[in-house]
Structure formats: C-alpha cells, structure tokens
Chain A
C-alpha cells in the first residue's frame, strides 16, 4: 500500500503494509526521536503530532496518516535554534535519560500552540500521557510552568 503524507513539512511517500504502525514507519524514515517504550500506548514516548493533535504512533496504523500532516521533534528545533520548550527543559534540568523527552516536548507543543499560557491544571491534563521514570515530573512541570507564566506576562 502506498501512502503519502507530510512529515515535518516535507511531502513523503512510503510503501507500507496494512499492519505497519506509524511508529515503525517514522523510525524507518529516519525519525530517531520517535522512541518505542511500551508499544501499547501507555508510555507516550512514541507520541507525535498528527494534524496538530498528539497521538501515540505505536497504536496508529501507517495508513491512518495517509494525506495528513505529521510532526516529530526533529522539525521543531535544532541544536542551534532550539524551540523555547526545549530550551526551557534543558535550562531547568528536566532532562535526565531523555528517552521520554521527544514525547513530552511534542505534548507541550500541542498544548502551547493552542494555548500559550496554560494553567497548571491544563498542563497536567495535556501531559498526562507522558511517562517519565527519572525526574519525578517536578522539573518538567516547573520548566513548562515558567514558560506558561512568561507567555502570560
């Protein structure tokens, strides 16, 4: 089956099987930021944004993104020009092993794109699908809280 979708701003075509999951396809296409932690939708480390919504790519069939727009962390910031969310997390020391980080960053981005100054509650709800085993979440939350309050002021 041939599918065509926009990946990080570029139109990509791929030959996939019906059973191919989006996470595997994205990794094959070179998006190393898509991590597979549990492969059953529980950890959120494979999360990507499809049409601006955060989804777990390990539960999504590749065919389902045919004609849609997919965004991974590769597109939203670079070493020289990190996205403010990436910068905030680095500055706060919220990144330990970093395996969950691409998912966290995309979850935050999906939220901040719609709502630049979310409340603590909204932050908690938007990030409730991202598991982190290292940090205890405190620093992730405080980094994003700071970002939200900067947007408010």
Chain B
C-alpha cells in the first residue's frame, strides 16, 4: 500500500477525530511493520498512533491489562507470576520487528500466521475497543472473523486484558516454522486447568494453515474430564493421527 499522507495523533481523542475526518482511506499506523507484505497500490492515509499512550502492562485483579500500543519487545521483557506472553513474544519474528510491532497492530488486522491471536484465544483474553463508548469482546468473539467488523470509523483497540495463569492451570505455545523469521506453518496455543489429575477446563487454539486463528472447541470438550496420565504415553506412540487434530477444527476443511 502507498501512504499519501501521514498524520501523528497526539491523543486518543485526536486519533479518533483524524480517523473520522480523513475518511475510509485513513488507517491507524501502529508499528507499520505489516505494510511490507501488503504489496498493492492502495492509497492510504496513515494516522500514527504511537504517541497516544496505551503502552505497558499492568496487573489488576488477576488480569494483566496490556495497552494496545505495547511493543512486542516489552511483552517479552515483562515478567510476572502468571504471565506467559513473554514466551509468545520471544518467538515473534526478530528483535527489530519485536521493537516495532505493537500487540494491537498484530491483532487488529489478522493474517493467518499472526502469533498473538492464537495465544489470546487460548488465554481467553478480552479486547477493549474505544469508540463512542468502550466495548469489550472476548477473544472468541473478537477473532471470529476479521476484527475490523467490530470497529466503527474512528474506533481504536486500546486495551487487552489477559487473565493470569493461576494455580493449577497451564499454558503452552508452539509455533512451527523453520526459523522465527519465517511465516508460521502452524501455531498452537493451549490452556488447561486441572484439579488433581483431572482436566477441568481446556482451551486450544490454532493459527496459520487456517484462514483465521480459531479455537478447537470439540477437542476442548474431549479434553475436559480426562485424567492426565503419568508415563505410559510411549505405548500410544504411532497411534497419533493428524486426522483427529484437524478434523475437529472444522474451519480447516478445504
């Protein structure tokens, strides 16, 4: 895409005003790093939102409130009990890109291989859009289609609320790519809560290789109530079948 004009907003209100006034070709510039692979001649007006605040991570009542303008590098550098996005951030492209890209930019416009939507789906995060009023959407709603459908002209994503990983729960993240730099072939994030050895709650999300990141709800349902085994998995080696995994993610069907 081609920028025909560039504006820098001073505040959220300023950004909202600019986006509304400049019309449909205006778009917010977060890190602008995704512009490199949108190789068309579309003319856009850039509204740089880097200076409007919403940066940093705060811990509030069992939730991490992440400003949408927080750079991936800052997610990576942040450490706290129950915080797992540092590990997701570590697998994100490369240091310069982690320094440029914001989490808001990464999830407002979703490409299949984007890293954070998958993790946020598994973590059941809540996205807050600042428009006329503030509206909040659970990840499962937010990513059920291109998030742009939830935005009115001038609306901006401002906050992401990520639940803490509490006692008895766990999170895993896997990005299958040759190197970080590569587009992911398959990204999987899983969150599980257990009581004793029994799985009480599970969320599994996949991205890349599918049109949009999504939860594998049938698979989650199968997980709940299962006892976690100790050892014994070797027996089951080879019984693993790709079919099970993919068939349940109905969106993956060609």
Contact = CB atoms under 8 A, between A and B. Distances in A.
Contacts of A56: 33, 96-97, 100
A90 interface: no
Contact of A53 (B29, B99, B180): B99
Nearest to B99: A53
A56 B73 CA distance: 14
Interface string B77-120: 00000000000001001111101100000000000000000000
B36 A41 contact: yes
Interface stretch (A5-13, A122-130, A136-144): A122-130
A32 interface: no
B50 interface: yes
B46 A63 contact: yes
Contacts of B46: 18, 61, 63
B33 A61 contact: no
Contact of B6 (A18, A107, A125, A126): A18
Given A44-B94, A47-B96, A63-B48, A19 B36 contact: no
Interface residues of A, number: 26
B31 to A, nearest CB: 8
Interface in B57-88: 71, 73
Given A18-B5, A41-B36, A128-B180, A61 B29 contact: yes
B135 to A, nearest CB: 29
Contacts of B3: 18-19, 61
A129 B63 CA distance: 31
Given A59-B32, A64-B32, A66-B8, A54 B37 contact: no
A18 B4 CA distance: 6
Contacts of A126: 95
Interface residues on B, range: 20 to 34
Interface in B1-52: 2-6, 8, 29, 32-33, 35-37, 45-46, 48, 50
Given A42-B181, A59-B35, A63-B46, A129 B2 contact: no
Interface in A101-118: 107
Central interface residue in B73, B96, B180, by most chain A CB within 10 Å: B96
Contacts of A125: 90, 95
Interface of B: 2-6, 8, 29, 32-33, 35-37, 45-46, 48, 50, 71, 73, 90, 93-97, 99-100, 180-181
Given A44-B96, A66-B8, A107-B95, 7 more contacts: A1-B5, A39-B36, A40-B36, A41-B36, A64-B32, A128-B95, A129-B93
